[in-house]
Structure 1
Amino acid sequence: MTNSYEDRVLRVLDHIHDNPAGDLSLDALADVAAMSRFHWHRVFRAMTGETCAQAVRRIRLHRAAGWLLQSDRSPEQIAADVGYPNPRSFARAFSEAYGVSPAAYRRTGHPTPAHPQFRTGEYPMHPVTTRTEPARRMIGLAHKGAYMEIGKSFESFAAMCEARQLWPNVGAGLAIYLDNPDAVPEADLRSFAGAEYRGPDVPDGMEERHIPGGKTAVLTYKGPYSGIHAAYHSLFGNWLPSSGEEPADRPCYEIYLNNPRDTAPEALLTEICLPLK
């Protein structure tokens, strides 16, 4: 199954090379990969060391550099041929990547960036199991912005539970992460902070979410929450390509097995859950 994921990455890279002026949006590349939009970008980043957007930019500019040296096309035509909406944005991107303007590059020439190498196996290993998870009903608060700041929403959720004496009906802490932080601007990231809930009605000021049950890959991470992002790279770069499994088209979620209020950071336990088909 390892080759299946490598084949997807190679297919997407070939598509970018062959269609530099085409629709190379994240969703379009997920379609080329024939993989869930929720998880494709993480797989690509984990296996290549680049986000899809970085790869598109690099390959477009690589193609432009070749045409500048090996053709008589104008910079304006090259800009259009590699998918830039106007010569000014192309010149700015090219100068940032190559250190010189397109015209100066055509006069002098420079080496082009190398093809990325697969990174499978270069991330710290964490234990991963496959199990059937139950469906979960949760309550909590929507959060928008940096995922590392979701603690603010958890603090508000906990205060509301305390004030309303909801704890007898509250279970394990949960968070759903709806966007990929490698692909979505930090300010636009969407998540949901809360916990399982056994009460009859959704408390005022909170929202309800349902997490479907089913086959799930569960990575157990031990350590401070600041290291969780790297653990995702391990899940998608180490475990998934060799697992023989296919992600479902649903977001990852996290289960918090202990409480940071009474647990040392290095002893915190988090289960990162990847729904599978």
Structure 2
Amino acid sequence: MIEGELMPKSATHQSYLDRLNRVDDYIHAHLEDDLSVERLAEVACLSPYHWSRIYAAMRGETVAVRIRRLRLQRAADRLANTDIAMDKISMLAGYGSTDTFGRAFRDVLGDTPAQFRAAGKHAAFKKAVSTCDAQGFPVSVVTLPEQRCASIDHVGSYMQIDHAIGRLFAELSKQGGLPETPSMIGVFFDDPDAGEESELRSRACMPIGNDIAIGEPLGETKLKAGHYAQLNYTGPYAAMREAYRWLLGTWLPASGYEPGDAPIFEAYLNDPSQVPQTELRTDIHLPLHVLR
């Protein structure tokens, strides 16, 4: 390139996407560390005067909002699914006091951390499991066609699959294969109660047409056609573990079905960056084998 000549617009756009992807990778890997604006500007290799506004314009939310959302999402997961002390959860979420943490948590989740731990949506699922309430939550049996998906693998906490979803979205957009109305799916291969969290295998998927080429680093995944139990869940992702326990431990044994030979997948019906966590809608799909 001749000195002083500008890069082609396509190359410039991809350069910005690559740099913002590095920022997202760094945020997920260091969510409990000090994520200063200056450090993230270094990761992005962009001017500290402008990079955060570029991030917000290209990602649809400010970097501060994203960090706050991800930290509180992880805190909600710990409150719902562990016995870690409240003050430690507050510290890991980056808050200097439990009072400040409590106010921020209530703003996003609608309850204080103590209320969420004691009576959040996960607590309702636990009650349903303990009472074997087979009528407690909406489940329907649906028949789905085979779905061809572009996909990218994720290893680690299921609560961090949104990282893989973001990379899938960006990569498919780069390859020109992004559908006009994209839909996101998470496929989960392991029992989170039976193994190390760092080794859990999942896959971010996006249904695409058969005429769309899929290039590396993406792969192709085909979701099986067949019967599925579809549980309609509304609420924070952190509380879904008990929904799974209810579906598998209460609904399935009373249903007359057996589980099919395929992994469970989740279809995400709205965007966590656009709606409160209390309004997130997810359809959990359990493959079924119909007994003859």
TM range (shorter): 0.5 to 0.7
Q: Which amino acid aligns with 1:264?
A: P
Three-state SS of the structure 1 residue aligned to 2:258 is coil
The question of whether the paired residues in 1 share the 8 Å contact of 2:146 and 2:222 is answered with yes
The question of whether the paired residues in 2 share the 8 Å contact of 1:252 and 1:274 is answered with yes
Q: 1:194, CA displacement in angstroms?
A: 2.2
Pick one of 244, 247, 253 that aligns with 1:241: 253
Residue correspondence of structure 1 range 74-223 to structure 2 within 5 A: 119=130, 121=132, 125-168=136-179, 171-198=182-209, 199-223=211-235
Q: How high is the TM-score relative to the length of structure 1?
A: 0.54
Q: How high is the TM-score relative to the length of structure 2?
A: 0.51
Q: Which amino acid aligns with 1:168?
A: P
Q: Which amino acid aligns with 1:228?
A: M
The question of whether the paired residues in 2 share the 8 Å contact of 1:123 and 1:233 is answered with no
Q: 1:268, CA displacement in angstroms?
A: 1.0
Where relative contact order (Cα < 8 A, 6+ residues apart) is larger, the structure is 1
Structure 2: gaps of 5 or more residues: 1-128
- Measured against aligned partners, the alpha-carbon deviations of 1:129-186 in whole angstroms (never above 9, x if no partner) come to 0011111111121001111111111121222234344323664211110111111211
Q: Which amino acid aligns with 2:136?
A: M
The question of whether the paired residues in 1 share the 8 Å contact of 2:177 and 2:212 is answered with no
The question of whether the paired residues in 1 share the 8 Å contact of 2:179 and 2:208 is answered with no
Q: Which amino acid aligns with 1:244?
A: G
Q: 1:124, CA displacement in angstroms?
A: 9.7
Residue 257 of structure 2 corresponds to residue 250 of structure 1: no
Match of 1:267 in 2: 279
How far apart, in 2, do the equivalents of 1:258 and 1:156 lie? 17
Identity, in percent, stands at 34
Change (3 A) 1:141 1:242: same
Change (3 A) 1:259 1:136: same
The question of whether the paired residues in 2 share the 8 Å contact of 1:142 and 1:192 is answered with yes
List structure 1 segments (4+ residues) > 6 angstroms apart after TM superposition: none
Change (3 A) 1:138 1:246: same
How far apart, in 2, do the equivalents of 1:246 and 1:240 lie? 7
Structure 1: gaps of 5 or more residues: 1-117
How far apart, in 2, do the equivalents of 1:130 and 1:189 lie? 27
CA RMSD, Structure 1 to Structure 2 (Å): 2.1
The question of whether the paired residues in 2 share the 8 Å contact of 1:125 and 1:238 is answered with no
Match of 2:240 in 1: 228
Q: Which amino acid aligns with 1:148?
A: M
